[in-house]
Amino acid sequence: MGYERQPDMGTPDTGAAKQVCLTIDGRAIAVPAGISVMRAAALAGGAIPRLCASDNLAAFGSCRLCLVEIEGAKGTPASCTTPVAEGMVVHTQTPRLQKLRRGVMELFISDHPLDCLTCSANNDCELQDEAAAVGLRDVRYGYAGANHLAQPVDATNPYFDFDPAKCIVCSRCVRACDEVQGTFALTIDGRGFASKVSAGQAGDDFLSSECVSCGACVQACPTATLQEKAVREIGRPERAVVTTCAYCGVGCTFRAEMRGQQLVRMVPWKDGKANRGHSCVKGRFAWGYANHKDRITTPMIRTSTAEPWREASWDEALAFAAERLKAIKARYGAGALGGITSSRCTNEETFLVQKLVRAGFGSNNVDTCARVCHSPTGYGLKTTFGTSAGTQDFDSVMQADVILIIGANPTDAHPVFASRMKRRLRQGAKLIVIDPRRIDLVRSPHVAAAHHLALQPGTNVAVLTAMAHVVVTEGLADEAFIRARCEYDAYQDWARFVSDQRHSPEALEAVTRVPAAELRAAARLYATGGNGAIYYGLGVTEHSQGSSTVMAIANLAMATGNIGRPGVGVNPLRGQNNVQGSCDMGSFPHELSGYRHISDPATRALFEQDWGVGLDPEPGLRIPNMLDAALDGSFRAIYIQGEDILQSDPDTRHVAAGLAAMELVIVHDLFLNETASYAHVFLPGSTFLEKNGTFTNAERRIQLVRKVMEPANGMEDWEVTQALANAMGLGWSYTHPAQVMDEIARLTPTFAGVSFARLEEAGSLQWPVNDAHPDGSPVMHVDGFVRGKGRFVVTDYVPTDEKAGPRFPLLLTTGRILSQYNVGAQTRRTANLVWHDEDLLEIHPADAENRGIKTGDRVRLASRKGETTLRAEVTDRVAPGVVYTTFHHPETQANVVTTEYSDWATSCPEYKVTAVQVAPSNGPSEWQEDYAGLTARARRIVPAEPAE
Amino acid sequence: MRKERLRYMAEQIARNLAIQGPDVAAAATAEHIRLYWDPRMRAALLADDRAALSPVVAAAVEELAAGNVVPDLAGDRRRPD
């Protein structure tokens, strides 16, 4: 598409089914009841001048530009705040209105710089447009009076400027911060002429304020007051392409607004069904990594990791990799080869990597980063409900009455969805938070949790069993739902189990550290408070009982009838943009796409026929098992697309030893990541801006990723995988990812109705998309569970083997922060560093006091596995006995201290519980020193000889 | 494969299924290992000293060794609609 501003109807839709008929400027029109006259006029094809109105904000009635005349009504009401009425006759253009609007506009312009030709918003400015629309020709008041033109620009935010001289005090930015983002960082300070937009307290600037840099204010601004620095530097965009964000599992859609091949800005797409026009600091602004100087765009090879990298042509690098893969297979068998798919890459790319491993390498040794995040979701929800997916769409939260968040921190990890959630909470929904840490949602502006169960890390199952105990023993279970929809015998077994007195909140309080009365109250609220919706994250899955906890959550939802309709459900919040998709695509070693076991002959036959090759019926190795097998010599080569297991996976020393033991490590990535220090082949990757394909977000929504610029490395990632396959002689001939999706659709029942053409037409589709659900499935398990009847599973609390003790008395739990993303490969290469340039260790004041630690001190964090050093932040956000850090920075290597303990069913690592000791330190750990030397050596590059 | 690690993994599975009683837990442990473990991992576990295993895991290993474990995959073939 060319460049034009996104349509704005002025005020929100009411969604009312009832229609109201009225006449606007002589044209009769039927519109939804309750909408504003302004919106009705827009629906009728007209445009009433306005400055303070926007259709993602409640009407405000401030600018007085949108006045209209209504027959039979006195005066000239503001069209934004006047609802339509049956039979109403409206005039939007009359000499009287023209005079009024011109007078209002004169006042605005009298205190606005007349620098349009040099203004960065020239030709993309609502004030400019409306001045033209009302026919402003002069300003009778002159420009010499008191004004705000000399106010200084606040340029502290790395991505946008605030120029108060250009501000018309329409309050759109303040209202966007309040209503859309829910942070309430901005306000109008002062009264009358002194009114001005202020970020936080007097003396605060945008950077030091509570602003989370989501960009909602920038998007709302009708002038150049709040504008992206990139627009000022590059110029007005000239075209826009709608694509899907490559950060978290919310799956926001954006307009990539371009000038030539240069990305000017990412603006959230208002029609995006996942984000509804909102964004966060990562998706909106943190895309600069795509052109970062660290980006590697030339293939590289080396025979030993002791050597420097040597730049090579694609042909040479692919031949080098293929020859070695074939040689290793010939010598050690197919089981010595494997691959890792990326949850940051597209469905099509992921599908091709697992196809390469299964059909090309000849093994099922394929795994994905979901191994270390949501593999327990796959196991738990498949066992209880029949398939591995969240049950709801994001819109569902707006019908929830009780929101239960367990082991998730949505404002940091899924910020755009968190804003929707906060909006619902401000409307009155109740909130229960189960988390050892006081996440922001426990108490933030206009949001307060009814209950915060600050449990001891590792006791999720005990807490959920105690909640189930309350539900069953107090007669709060939904017997009708259970009898109709679930296996009743299994329910009775489960009900007997949870009813046992040893599972009462009082009996388990010593284990969970959650006051029994608080837990009982939370359970009663969830069971009786109306629509109960559970949202969970890695604080559930990354435990030795991750799968049990997922099943315990499913049990609780089924027992209370909170499944199968809007407003309820079980919702895993996926960490990466395409975790759902990579799992759907058959990235696990035991199953093909659509979660069908590799040992099933009928399923396997489908693929064998389509691919023309026999498949191994045995499950392959998971990532930690691949590393183990490497150490015993039975696993020799790995192809890793878009993952950095050295930094992201637990027990770094073990990962390093496993990688070092392999004969061939192929890393396919944007940067020389930490894993690449152990690699022999580096295949440059492409960013999400440089490729076509699809991502599937946490609500099963499949959305198109569209190429907005040519790949800097010369190939999209699916082309790289195809080239590697063809170097091995596989003869693949895809010319576009749409063909890969067609293959996925014919082999995967849940995707049977998906194609690029359908996605273009529908905008997005939520699987299953098939004959029964041709337009997809916003809510699952509506009339029955995928497995037929829902299955209750008895989940006994089994304590982790990771115990705190005298040597390691504290429990470490790890997580994410808003401005950084996972291992930080992308966000660390952006200005987001201004908010988080190092991992910090949160420690409770009592624990800090005992150790003589103050905020800012460097401390040594040691476990049975290893030690690292980082700075401390003393805070009561964590409970006594618990410490917390992030894992975004390789200099810290938080996973040096995490252990190999993992979920019993899926081997998902127990990142959330590591026994540690913390002590003051005056320098880096031995590991950190050694590692700095290693990476410096491993990243040496010998440039290719220039061609003659 | 590290036999200590495999033994630990098998015992952990059994501990989490133990609430179902020893017979069911043994069968479920065996099925889990059959469904999710690479053959070389199973082989290493089967080659381990049975005396070092708990009764439930030892029984599961017996089942696996006898080739009696046939997982129910009906759910995988069910259309998700």
For the record, the structure tokens of A791 come out as 């299955």
Give the per-residue pLDDT at A694: 98
Average pLDDT over residues A278-287: 98
Q: Are residues A599 and A630 in contact, defined by beta-carbon separation less than 8 angstroms? A: no
Mind giving me the DSSP string for B23-69? HHHHHHHHHHHHHHS-HHHHHHHHTS-GGGS-HHHHHHHHHHHTT--
Strand extents, DSSP E, A262-372 = 262-268, 300-301, 309-311, 337-341, 366-368
Q: Which strand (E) or helix (H) includes residue A623?
A: helix A623-631
Q: Are residues A880 and A861 in contact, defined by beta-carbon separation less than 8 angstroms? A: no
Q: Of B13, B77, B80, which is closest to A750 when you measure between CB atoms?
A: B80
Q: Are residues A434 and A405 in contact, defined by beta-carbon separation less than 8 angstroms? A: yes
* DSSP annotation of A78: B
Tell me which long-range contacts A492-496 makes (C-beta under 8 A, separation of at least 24). Answer: A493/A792, A493/A794, A494/A468, A494/A555, A494/A559, A494/A792, A494/A793, A494/A794, A495/A559, A495/A792
Average pLDDT over residues A220-247: 96
Give the per-residue pLDDT at B80: 42
Average pLDDT over residues A319-331: 98
Average pLDDT over residues A219-226: 97
Report d(CA A678, CA A660) in Å as an integer: 6
Least confident span in A114-123, A353-362, A729-738: A114-123
Q: Which strand (E) or helix (H) includes residue A873?
A: strand A867-874
Cα–Cα distance list, A771 to A132, A736, A778, A890, B81 (Å): 52, 25, 15, 48, 9
pLDDT, tens digit, for every residue of A497-555? 999 999 999 999 999 999 999 999 999 999 999 999 999 999 999 999 999 999 999 99
User: B13 touching A, CB under 8 A?
Assistant: yes
Give the per-residue pLDDT at A947: 60
Residue B1's pLDDT band, with cuts at 50, 70 and 90, is confident
Average pLDDT over residues A303-318: 97
Q: Are residues A813 and A436 in contact, defined by beta-carbon separation less than 8 angstroms? A: yes
Give the per-residue pLDDT at A837: 94
Assess whether pLDDT exceeds 90 at residue B76: no
User: B64 touching A, CB under 8 A?
Assistant: no
Assess whether pLDDT exceeds 50 at residue A613: yes
For the record, the structure tokens of A751 come out as 């995707």
How large a percentage of chain A has pLDDT more than 90? 92
Q: 10 Å Cβ neighbour count for A35?
A: 22
Q: 10 Å Cβ neighbour count for A123?
A: 11
ipTM of the complex: 0.95
Assess whether pLDDT exceeds 80 at residue A241: yes
Partner-chain contact A599 B41, CB within 8 Å: no
Residue B2's pLDDT band, with cuts at 50, 70 and 90, is confident
Assess whether pLDDT exceeds 80 at residue A643: yes
Non-local (6+) Cβ contacts of A511 within 8 A are A456, A459, A462, A797, A799
Tell me which chain B residues have a C-beta less than 8 angstroms from the C-beta of A625: 1, 38, 41
Partner-chain contact B9 A907, CB within 8 Å: yes
pLDDT, tens digit, for every residue of A871-883? 999 999 999 999 9
Tell me which long-range contacts A504-511 makes (C-beta under 8 A, separation of at least 24). Answer: A504/A466, A504/A469, A504/A473, A505/A466, A505/A467, A505/A469, A505/A470, A508/A459, A508/A462, A508/A463, A508/A465, A508/A466, A508/A797, A511/A456, A511/A459, A511/A462, A511/A797, A511/A799
Using alpha carbons, select from A273, A179, A18, A31 the residue that is nearest to residue A9. A31
Give the per-residue pLDDT at A787: 92
Residue B81's pLDDT band, with cuts at 50, 70 and 90, is very low
Residue A868 phi, psi dihedral angles, 5° rounding: -145, 175
Counting runs of H as helices and runs of E as strands, what totals does chain A give?
A: 29, 37
Assess whether pLDDT exceeds 70 at residue A338: yes
Q: Of A602, A634, A794, which is closest to B40 when you measure between CB atoms?
A: A634
Report d(CA A735, CA A406) in Å as an integer: 44
Identify the residue whose tokens are 């908010």: A835
Partner-chain contact B76 A603, CB within 8 Å: yes
pLDDT, tens digit, for every residue of A433-468? 999 999 999 999 999 999 999 999 999 999 999 999
Say which amino acid occupies A877: R
Partner-chain contact B41 A794, CB within 8 Å: no
Residue A78 phi, psi dihedral angles, 5° rounding: -70, 130
pLDDT, tens digit, for every residue of B24-72? 999 999 999 999 999 999 999 999 999 999 999 999 999 999 998 888 7
Average pLDDT over residues A474-492: 97
* DSSP annotation of A6: P
Report d(CA A291, CA A709) in Å as an integer: 12
Q: 10 Å Cβ neighbour count for A488?
A: 15
Give the per-residue pLDDT at B75: 62
Partner-chain contact B77 A602, CB within 8 Å: yes
Between chain A and chain B, the number of residue pairs with CB atoms below 8 A apart is 96
Q: What is the pTM of this model?
A: 0.96
Assess whether pLDDT exceeds 80 at residue A62: yes
Partner-chain contact B80 A335, CB within 8 Å: no
Assess whether pLDDT exceeds 60 at residue A266: yes
Give the per-residue pLDDT at A948: 58
Mind giving me the DSSP string for A792-805? ---------S----
Mind giving me the DSSP string for A462-518? HHHHHHHHHHHHTT-S-HHHHHHHB-HHHHHHHHHHHHSGGGSHHHHHHHH---HHH
Give the per-residue pLDDT at A916: 97
Give the per-residue pLDDT at A1: 57
| A675-698 per-residue burial string, b: 16 or more CB within 10 A, e: under 16 | bbbbbbbbbbbbbbbbbbbbbbbb
Assess whether pLDDT exceeds 90 at residue A328: yes
**Going by DSSP bridges, is the β-strand pair A226-228/A160-162 parallel, antiparallel, or unpaired?**
antiparallel
pLDDT, tens digit, for every residue of A662-698? 999 999 999 999 999 999 999 999 999 999 999 999 9
Report d(CA A790, CA A552) in Å as an integer: 13
Give the per-residue pLDDT at A946: 67
